[in-house]
Amino acid sequence: MKVWTKMDIYVKKAIIHQFSPADTDLLLADKFLNITPKIDEYLRKKIERVYSDEAKTGIFEPDNVFLAQLSGDLLETSVTVAKLWQEEFSVSENQKTNDLIFVQFDKEGVEHFAFLRIALRETLTHLGGEVDNPIKLTQNNLPGFGTGADEALVINLQSRKYHLIEKRIKYNGAFLNYFSDNILQVSPKISPKKSIKTLEKTAQKIAESFNTDDFQFQSKVKSSIFKNLEENDELSPEKLADELFDSNLTARLTFIDQVKETVPEPIKFDEIDSSRQKKKFENQKLSLSNGIELIVPNNVYQDAESVEFILNDNGTYSILIKNIEDIQSK
């Protein structure tokens, strides 16, 4: 479940170009969108979804080649970036018609730039001729607000920090991170979502090798992640190793080494990412073989005076829930 935080976003300008694999040239608009309330809401929703736990992040170096392409003129910048994108994307073996949306916006008073690639299934309608708006968005063809862009880049123009949602393309049988490697020429940090998946999978694999992987260990992983996020909004492989494999030095060292192959530094979360991850890990969810499902808050799960898991002589488990003052049916 994703948790979205309302953001202070003010859309100033936007323009949409179009790429079609059937055409050599891009269909370039020469006018900005007329930002109606409906289009404003649509663009803000798309931008908000870039700030997700699936986004890779980083900070551009001041002399970055891509950053040098961004000028104060959104129309000029949009054409330059659209052509850069087309040059790299055109080698893809699986091409579709795409709308390329460029937005100049303020977030919490700071100027930002956004580039959103949206596959044509979202059916933004391009119009030619003398019209105020080169793209017509109607109630019938307006894409759902709940979907994110296929690829997206948002840059804080003050701090140079970026959020990137990218998809690999297939070329000569290989999959390429064409956006970060070729267009942006950066090496972003892996996304919070992928970082946590790496931690969970590595912990489970090592526990299995030492025959300690059961529901209690898996719950311990979730509890440790939640506890570390609560304390300082970061996840350290060393701290997690100490908590998960406290009595097994070999397991601790193996966990740290394997995690650092993918996540070389402690995973730091900004306020938005941290709150989302805490929401995901605040409860333990258990499915029992008899069909019962339990949702237990982490602070309760770890309290022996509230819940106890008992291993019976026959290998089955009993769960004892204690000190209940009131029961309500929902």
CB contact at 8 A, 262 and 193: no
Q: Nearest Cα to 33, choosing from 155, 145, 127?
A: 127
Q: What is the pTM of this model?
A: 0.74
Q: What's the Cα-to-Cα distance from 264 to each of 199, 240, 321, rounded to whole Å? A: 12, 14, 41
How far is Cα 149 from Cα 168, in angstroms, rounded to an integer?
Answer: 14
CB atoms near residue 93 (< 10 Å): 9
CB contact at 8 A, 172 and 178: no
Estimate the share of the chain in helix, then strand, then coil, as percent rounded to the nearest 5: 35, 25, 40
Phi, psi of 258 (to 5 degrees): -70, -40
CB atoms near residue 15 (< 10 Å): 23
**Which amino acid appears at position 259 of this protein?**
V
Spatial CB neighbours of 10, under 8 Å, sequence gap ≥ 6: 105, 106, 107
Query: What is the full per-residue pLDDT of the chain (330 aa) written as tens digits?
Result: 333 346 789 999 999 998 888 777 888 988 898 888 888 988 999 999 999 888 999 999 999 999 999 998 999 999 999 999 999 998 887 788 888 999 999 999 999 999 999 886 544 455 444 445 555 554 344 444 567 889 999 999 999 999 999 998 888 778 888 999 999 999 888 888 888 888 999 999 998 888 776 788 888 888 888 888 888 888 888 999 999 998 889 999 999 999 888 887 787 777 666 777 888 888 888 888 889 888 888 888 878 788 888 889 998 889 899 888 888 887
